[in-house]
Structure 1
Amino acid sequence: MFVFVTIIFVFVAYTISIKFVYYRYSQVWPHLRNKISTPLNTVGNASFCPTRERSSALLRNSEEDEPRVTAGETRALLVTAHPDDECMFFAPTVLKLVESQATVYLLCLSTGNYSNQGLQRKRELLDSCAVLGIPSDHVTIIDDKELPDDPAVQWSTALISSLTLKHIRNYSISVVLTFDGSGVSRHANHIAIYVALRHLASAGRLPEGCQILSLHSISLLRKYVSVLELPVSWLLPSDFCCIIGWEEYKHAKKAMLCHRSQLLILLHLYI
């Protein structure tokens, strides 16, 4: 009987802690968003710091085509390796940014053609982005032989850096979001993006005021216990954290379901 009561008590206490964390997060979210907005006067070099997530090239040829940017506006660029990365790993961040009226762009560095499904996966990516709130004209999908969907191929750091920097400049990006050095799943293509963007930051090639935030990879246990992991994430240090509620979770799941070619048993468990 004592064991049963203890289990019930722990469950209730943990549920309350989850509620508290979500409430507290809703209060501090405006301050978190301000950290990645375009400042009135950008000073200093771009930074490369970690964040926690529980989340055809377009070229401009004239100044007239450059986007109008206002102080305090968030212009985010998400750099991913494959179609489905945007929702599987970054959906909470994208949804929170879109909800906050941020302008979000996506640069996907391959068509995901590992199993000769590139055309289908491009369509799936656009459908997923529509659900997440990223307009199709804000989505760039790269199809380059130097960036194949293949973990056995080492992607070109110079090419990734060039493509990303071009997007940052063309769209006046204030924050870039991508993978960390572990690539979530140790995928070589994910890690290659981190290496390239870290190179950009360390070489001082980014425009002043532009930040790069990297997704924080976590253990398999923390990844698959879902909402039970929330208090742990809240207590650990993070520069930027996104937590979504039930309605946003349903949007994230709907976006993932757009990638029908990738819905394996493991992915069903993940979502």
Structure 2
Amino acid sequence: MGDVTTTTSTTISQPSTLSGHALVTLDKIDTSNTAGFVKTVIGGTSLATLLLGIRSAWKHSRQPEAADLAAAQLFSGAAFAGKALGVATVITVSGFTLLIVGVSALLQVNTPRQFGAAMKTAHLRSLLKVSKRRRVSLKRSRKTGGNCQKIEKNQVLQRLLNPSSSSLHQHNKMLPLLLLIFILFFVILLFFAVRSYPIPLLPQSRILLLIAHPDDETMFFSPTIRALTHAGHRVFILSVSNGNFDGLGEIRARELSRAASKLGISSSDVICLDYDEFRDGDTWNRNALCQIVMRHVEVLSADTVISFDSYGVSGHHNHSSCFDALQTAYSNGGVPRDVQIFVLDSIPLWRKYIGMWDALFSFGRSPFFYMARFRDVAACWRAMWAHRSQFVWFRALFIVFSRYVYMNSLRRISPLPLTPSAPRNSQKFKFH
């Protein structure tokens, strides 16, 4: 009876042992899957929180809306500072959490202890590689019959005096990556740090943008257009010619309407002239152009005109003619007293194609400055693609490297009167 009992207990204990191993294995699998799921959830949440924090910081670092200013008056300075501190805390915590989750996923670890063990293992592997390399070099030196101790001393002295070629090679590999990280960080810092200084306008102003050819609005004025339309102003585009130099005038006029819609301007607010006196590339009569521009200012009830300066950004004489017409109207007293005239600054050639890096040289030099946002740059690229008849390879480079895609600096050539007396608008201008 005792033998039977022993045999029975043995047969029962074996399955229990196997089932225990099976349970342990299942627990390990479940733990691994759970850790991966948790890291995915935490990483996604941290990324979403980081993006929301950046968006909030971006919104409050740009020119505030009128509604935001009205709401801000309800809070004290301490509350406003607390909100800014909260946004900064959210960005810092979420960014650090995302970094930790990314490193842990890369190392395939789930706990701080595993992380430390992984780092120790990586360090030991590097030490083993170095020691193995030394042993190989010593064996080679023994085979050649040299003095091992002298060779080792010389190697130590050489390492002290000059860095090893392997370390230099590793540093050379890391240098492009570090340079790329620095450039990206500096670009993001520029986008967040540089603020716009808009031109002084009444709420819901009517602005006339005077250009020489279709595509000038996209290539040179897109940051200003996007900022004005986003602020609730109505922008009209008056193109003096339709760019019919190659016989594509009608096509380019339609492209101008499509590009304007990409920038936030209604196609009904786009005017493209086709007069024999103002052919693309010809010399334009400033007095005739002056009369046409002032007539459109009156018909459209525009209170602001924006155009090129005397050089015309690119040196094109049609661009300069737009400025000459406005300057003639102002000098002859043809500009209403309640109308402001602003011109786009021309800059040296070496600054024109350094992209947003020109913010280091432009910021603070002009009284009025517009810095494009990420979505403004994307809108400019879409608008430039609308000018398909003119989209050649060098224009693709232009919209990537031109500073006029990222920023505009303007100056006023028509001083604002202290007491505007024009009959259509007797209200004083408010400076923001």
TM-score, length of structure 2 as denominator length: 0.49
Q: In 1, distance between residues paired with 2:373 and 2:264?
A: 16
Superposed displacement of residue 15, structure 1 = 6.2
Tell me which amino acid in the other structure corresponds to 1:182: Y
Maintained 8 Å contact 1:200/1:206: yes
Superposed displacement of residue 266, structure 1 = 1.5
Maintained 8 Å contact 2:313/2:347: yes
Superposed displacement of residue 14, structure 1 = 7.1
**What are the superposed Cα offsets for residues 89-148 of structure 1, whole Å, 9 maximum, x if unpaired?**
111110111111111000000110000011111111111011111111111111000000
Q: In 2, distance between residues paired with 1:10 and 1:211?
A: 45
Aligned to 2:92: none
Q: In 2, distance between residues paired with 1:137 and 1:223?
A: 32
**What are the superposed Cα offsets for residues 18-46 of structure 1, whole Å, 9 maximum, x if unpaired?**
555543444xx4xx43x4313xxxxxxxx
Q: In 2, distance between residues paired with 1:230 and 1:198?
A: 28
**Judging changes above 3 Å, is the alpha-carbon distance between structure 1 residues 203 and 7 closer, same or farther for their aligned structure 2 residues?**
farther
Q: In 1, distance between residues paired with 2:176 and 2:267?
A: 49
Percent sequence identity over aligned pairs:
31
Aligned to 2:358: 229
Matched, 1:96 2:237: no
Q: In 2, distance between residues paired with 1:207 and 1:188?
A: 26
Which runs of structure 1 show a deviation greater than 3 angstroms over 4 or more consecutive aligned residues?
A: 3-26
Aligned to 1:117: 248
Tell me which amino acid in the other structure corresponds to 1:23: F
Maintained 8 Å contact 2:204/2:233: yes
Aligned to 1:139: 270
SS of equivalent residue, structure 2 residue 343: strand
Maintained 8 Å contact 2:194/2:359: no
Superposed displacement of residue 214, structure 1 = 0.8
**What are the superposed Cα offsets for residues 203-234 of structure 1, whole Å, 9 maximum, x if unpaired?**
22111121111111122221111122222111
Aligned to 1:169: 298
Aligned to 2:90: none
SS of equivalent residue, structure 2 residue 305: strand
Q: In 1, distance between residues paired with 2:246 and 2:346?
A: 26
Aligned to 2:386: 258
Maintained 8 Å contact 1:180/1:216: yes
Maintained 8 Å contact 1:73/1:102: yes
Maintained 8 Å contact 2:210/2:238: yes
Paired residue for 1:202, among 328, 331, 336?
A: 331
SS of equivalent residue, structure 1 residue 251: helix
Aligned to 2:398: 270
Matches within 5 A, 1:19-58: 19-26=188-195, 29=196, 32-33=197-198, 35-38=199-202
Across the two proteins, how many residue pairs are aligned to each other?
229
Matched, 1:219 2:388: no
Choose 1 or 2 for highest CA Rg.
2
Aligned to 1:149: 280
Q: In 2, distance between residues paired with 1:9 and 1:214?
A: 40
**What are the superposed Cα offsets for residues 218-264 of structure 1, whole Å, 9 maximum, x if unpaired?**
222211111222221114x2121111122110100110111111112
SS of equivalent residue, structure 1 residue 173: coil
Structure 1 stretches lacking a partner, 5+ long: 39-71
Relative contact order higher in (CA < 8 Å, ≥ 6 apart): 1
Tell me which amino acid in the other structure corresponds to 2:311: S
Superposed displacement of residue 173, structure 1 = 1.4
**Judging changes above 3 Å, is the alpha-carbon distance between structure 1 residues 90 and 220 closer, same or farther for their aligned structure 2 residues?**
same
SS of equivalent residue, structure 2 residue 283: coil
**Judging changes above 3 Å, is the alpha-carbon distance between structure 1 residues 174 and 36 closer, same or farther for their aligned structure 2 residues?**
farther
Q: In 2, distance between residues paired with 1:12 and 1:234?
A: 24
Higher helix share: 2
Q: In 2, distance between residues paired with 1:259 and 1:14?
A: 31
**Judging changes above 3 Å, is the alpha-carbon distance between structure 1 residues 15 and 201 closer, same or farther for their aligned structure 2 residues?**
farther
Larger mean Cα displacement after TM superposition, 98-107 or 208-217:
208-217
Aligned to 2:371: 243
Aligned to 2:319: 190
Maintained 8 Å contact 2:287/2:328: no
Tell me which amino acid in the other structure corresponds to 1:108: S
SS of equivalent residue, structure 2 residue 375: helix
**Judging changes above 3 Å, is the alpha-carbon distance between structure 1 residues 174 and 23 closer, same or farther for their aligned structure 2 residues?**
farther
Matched, 1:74 2:202: no
Maintained 8 Å contact 1:76/1:174: yes
Superposed displacement of residue 6, structure 1 = 10
Q: In 2, distance between residues paired with 1:36 and 1:176?
A: 12
